[in-house]
Amino acid sequence: MIDKTTNEIFALKGASQYGGEYFSEQNISVECSREQWMQFIECVVNGWTETLSETPSEPDQEIPF
């Protein structure tokens, strides 16, 4: 993300907290700087968003109305 908005920064910090909690619950140890960790989170979020936007809707999916 270039020129992140305040909301994007807030959301990335939230995602970082959830990711950290997951790693902690799974006893996964990661050694990296805060900047590396935030870049990792941003990469995951961007990948998810990009993949979702490129995924075609299912042609056989019924219209919900």
Cβ atoms 32, 41 nearer than 8 A: no
pLDDT computed for residue 60 by the predictor: 64
For residues 51 and 44, give the distance between their C-alpha atoms in angstroms, rounded to a whole number.
10
Cβ atoms 1, 42 nearer than 8 A: yes
* CA 57 to the chain's CA centroid: 21
* Cβ within 8 Å of residue 23, ≥6 positions away: 29, 30
Residues 2-56: tens digit of each pLDDT = 898 999 999 999 999 999 999 999 999 989 999 999 999 999 999 998 988 887 7
